[in-house]
Amino acid sequence: MIPRLVIAAPSSGSGKTTVATGLMAALRARGLAVSPHKVGPDYIDPGYHALAAGRPGRNLDPWLVGEELVGPLFLHGAAGCDVAVVEGVMGLFDGKAETDPGETGFASTAHVAKLLDAPVVLVVDAARQSASVAAVVHGFATFDPRVRVGGVVLNRVGSDRHEELCRAALAAAGVPVLGAIRRDDAVSVPSRHLGLVPAAERESAAVRAVERLGALVARSCDLDGLVRLAASAPPLTGPAWDPATALNSATALKEVPGSATARTAGERAGGTSDAAAGARAGGAPDMAAGGARAGGGVTVAVAGGAAFTFGYAEHVELLRAAGAEIAVFDPLRDERLPERAAALVIGGGFPELYAAELAANEPLREQVAAFGGPIAAECAGLLYLCEELDGQRMCGRVPGRARMTPRLTLGYRDAVALRRSPLTRVGERFHAHEFHRTAVDHADGPLFGWPGGADGYGDALLTASYLHLHWAGSPGLAQRLVSSSRSPSVLR
């Protein structure tokens, strides 16, 4: 059994990240092994969680991976830990309908709390109210009887008298107060156009910020009470997710082209199985027999550094399970790709903030442009592979120009692959997420399409789009990348 808490709030901006990150740091300082998690597709908060807990921050998103994988992925990430802290997203009951009407509550914090059977701690911004906080908490505690609100942390409390009024009102409502945090601008984390500044960009400043959050929560919250509440969560049944098992299961499904089992399992996982997609597209699955061992021994180079900070931990685990060795490179600093790189993974981040520095690293840009192996690029990776980004020369691998815009593009996507690429086959469905303020102008046909939109560029060696995929929902993607790799890479 893994004691666990979900840190939620009535709305964004209430202080979830402050409390969740600070609680992780405070519990770790007590000597507990803490497993950090985040509801939804966000990459930034897990970076701070990792600093606080000393373990990779992991995402739990029913849309990206399927409801049935949320529990197993949680158990995988929390294995061997004393307690798990799960930070929610938006308001407690806000889900996919916030970007896609008709999906009320799906992929919300409440949805994940129910899937994990975990008690919820509600973080309430108490500024400009006192007794009214009890009405807010009462509404959230009774809205869905399947969601157990086990306590409240009051945030932005102004004075001793303010705290007394709030506590008295909540005592009458029957909800325990597990913390009261005073206003303290010294512990704020700087933000930018897509949210908080990633921890990897702030380095020592981020470490100090997390330490301050931990000290703040330790002196403001009832840590013993929070641990007791976490321990009240019942045992989770079922096995933990395992990358090798996931790959073998994906391969086994491909051995029965067009079967109902393959279609159903592929769709549950948040995509369409190769076998079913191949049958619909008039072709057979092209996975090499032997599963995770096929194509082993290759090196997959993964972009990192301050410009490319976004990535799910499970991607690297799946690539390793597929037989790959991982080599991280920094496009801001490294002038050469890792030795014997056979495939590239260039994930998300903020290359628009480093466009001049990326452009100045001409040796690496030329190597990436001439790279002869498969490339998987998401969002920031797409921008880096374009000809230009805000007038700065990029790699030129994608025939298009990228630019910043004032418009935020945000939402979950039920996308269909329109072209074949290293990761996609025509007709396959992918559950994805999009989040950016840039646009790419190119004339070639898109790689993905969905109701009301289209995106991306693909060819025999390149999968590049704004869409973020969670490979745990479609583990065959890791195997495809490894199986299509060459070692060493051949410059074209």
Catalytic residue ranges: 379
CB-CB contact of 363 with 333 (8 Å): no
* Closest C-alpha to 243, from 486, 483, 470: 470
* Closest C-alpha to 368, from 379, 356, 358, 378: 358
* Closest C-alpha to 19, from 228, 129, 181, 252: 181
- From residue 294, how far is each of 243, 281, 322, 372, 482 by CA, in Å? 15, 24, 7, 20, 8
Other CB atoms within 10 A of residue 217 CB: 27
Q: Which helix or strand (DSSP H or E) is residue 386 part of?
A: strand 386-389
**Separation CA 369–CA 322 (nearest Å):** 26
Place of tokens 């199985």: 273
Tally the residues of the chain: 492
**Separation CA 171–CA 181 (nearest Å):** 17
- Please list, residue by residue across 412-439, b when 16 or more beta carbons sit within 10 angstroms of its beta carbon and e when fewer do: bbebbbbbbbbbbbbbbbbbbbbbbebe
Q: Which residue type does 195 have?
A: G
DSSP 473: G
| Apex 432 CA angle, 241 and 323, nearest 5 | 45
